[in-house]
Homo-oligomer: A and B are copies of this chain.
Amino acid sequence: MRLLLIGFGNLGRGLARSILEGGKFKDLKVVGIVDERGGVLNDEGIELRQALEVAESEGSVAKMGIEGLSAVEAIRESDADLVVELTPTNIKTGEPGLTHIRTALETGKHVVTSNKGPLVIAFRELQKLASSKGVQFKYSATVGGAIPVISLARRLASGDEILGVRGVLNGTTNYILTRMEREGLSQDVVIREAQELGIAEKDPTLDIEGIDTACKLVILANSILDMDVKLSDVKITGISRISPEALKLAREAGYTIKLIGNADKKGLDVRPRLVPLDHPLNIGGTLNAVSFRLRYAREITISGFGAGPAETSSALLADIMEVLASSPAS
């Protein structure tokens, strides 16, 4: 199967390295790579080792191909079967990922993405477009990193009924709450340390205020609960008012405090909630966890590392292999 990678930062490069290792990924051929400065196309397959070297040393693959080549041009011109969209998330406009994904689907290409923006802005539109073109649109990596939340939900829904979904969907805030609880430190101190470690961004507002959690909740609700909701439908409270004292009191009573996104037919909200210490949603550090409320099985929870290039690569590759498994050889 022929792949076109849009975006060649940490994620794209991690993916390229996994594909290079061969083995079970030997049927994947990368026929195009585009980054912010340009790109390279080759129907015979791109020499990935060279692309990685050029990208590391020059900061772009444009040097081995065409300076200024745009992703949209590349998507239109390439004979790729599948576009892997890995540009950064923009939750206000969904761009540039939204245009990339639209173009790919319109030209009959499967899409696998890690970009939350287009899904938060235009989930139904993209899903309908994919369906009308008879191609697949997969986005496991947008929620829970390496945790196969969406495919697990499909399996659960086949023999049971999913009544609701809730979870710890943001690794940064979970890391902050975990450190505050374990060491009694103030939120400011922990955030500064998390920024130094690269766990929190320079402007951590989207995480701290619960916006990132809400975006993932919207994706879960639309894809798993078959709802049609937008970010503005989520009632959001972040963690900024949680103190180490509150965590200490909770713990003495057998609880911890987690930032939980919750969705069911009654509505969507994100807010700090008490969680019993031995409940599966009490997970430490940068872990994420998603809990399904089910008619027969009551509750099934899955947890794992929600971010990081290797973890996200694992989710992207599983999506890519699913597309490969259900497509005729090409």
**Which A residues lie at the B interface, using CB under 8 A?**
18, 24, 145-148, 151-152, 155-156, 158-160, 178, 256, 276-280, 282-285, 287, 289, 294, 296-305, 310-311, 313-322, 325
Contacts and interface: CB of A to CB of B under 8 A. Distances in A.
A314 B289 contact: no
Nearest to A298: B305
- Chain copies in complex: 2
A278 to B, nearest CB: 4
Nearest to A151: B155
A17 to B, nearest CB: 10
A158 B145 CA distance: 15
A320 B159 contact: yes
Contacts of A146: 160, 294, 296-298, 300
Contact of A279 (B283, B294, B305, B311): B283
A283 B275 CA distance: 12
Contacts of A315: 159, 297
Given A156-B148, A278-B284, A282-B282, A297 B304 contact: yes
Given A315-B159, A318-B156, A299 B294 contact: no
B289 A310 contact: no
A322 B158 CA distance: 8
Contact of A159 (B160, B279, B285, B317): B317
B300 A18 contact: no
Contact of A304 (B279, B287, B301): B301
Given A156-B314, A277-B282, A297-B314, 12 more contacts: A146-B297, A147-B297, A152-B155, A158-B318, A159-B316, A256-B278, A278-B284, A279-B283, A297-B305, A298-B311, A299-B304, A300-B302
Nearest to A276: B284
Contacts of A319: 159
